[in-house]
Homo-oligomer: A and B are copies of this chain.
Amino acid sequence: MARKKRTNDPEGMRRRVLDVAEDFFQARGYHASSLGDLMAAAGVTGGALHHHFPTKKALALAVIEERVAAAVRETWIEPVLAASSAREGVRAVFEAVAAELEEQGYVRGCPLNNLAHELSLADDEFRLALANIFAGWRQAIADKVRADQTNGGEGGTDPDRFAALAVAAYSGAMSMAKTSQDAGFLRECLKELESLQLSSGGSTVRRRRRVLLR
């Protein structure tokens, strides 16, 4: 008979739990995800789970601070910072996410908004952690607008307002996309946003100046 061996791998164990928890919390939500199912899916025993995450709340907090924040960073902040301008970055992200969802065939929604809606009112610690991610998201976009402005673009745009609307439009569009299981709402909102910006936006300064010079 072969003896059973065990290899301690705390980091790997923790990662596996977070992987499954991230997936469960987004697909089923926090309250609808039982630790029993989670343990089974992750192949983890109760003792191990409790060792790394003493409570369910601690697990969710880790998911928020590590995974949800990372998701926002990867799908939004980094692409926007890498883009040629804030507006172009926002456009590219809308487009990329819409394309990804259409290929995927279903819409699970925005990880941040999903948890924010369920947990913001339940617990202040949850709420604060989620609000911080929203703030970082907006700030990255606003900073990009400011960078554009020092480079001579985006004349009359208020960076914080622009960022707030970009995040809001995305969040809301994703909410409708999730509820209708139709990624098209992302494209619709992006188009409307662009059609408005086309006639104002960067050219605002020029037009206003023209009016004044008459």
| A residues with CB within 8 A of B | 27-29, 31-32, 108-109, 113-114, 116-118, 120-122, 127, 130-131, 134-135, 156, 158, 160-162, 164-165, 167-173, 175-176, 178-181, 185, 188-189, 191-193, 195-201, 204, 207
Contact = CB atoms under 8 A, between A and B. Distances in A.
A29 B31 contact: yes
Contact of A113 (B135, B169, B170, B175): B175
Q: How many copies does the complex hold?
A: 2
Nearest to A171: B172
Contact of A122 (B32, B171, B175, B181): B32
B188 A195 contact: no
A179 B114 contact: no
Which of A122, A168, A197, A201 lies at the interface centre, i.e. has the most chain B CB atoms within 10 A of its CB? A168
A127 B32 contact: no
Contacts of A109: 117, 120-121
Nearest to A185: B164
Nearest to A200: B199
17 contacts: A109-B117, A113-B117, A114-B117, A116-B178, A117-B117, A117-B118, A134-B180, A135-B180, A158-B192, A158-B195, A164-B185, A165-B169, A167-B176, A169-B169, A172-B172, A196-B197, A199-B200
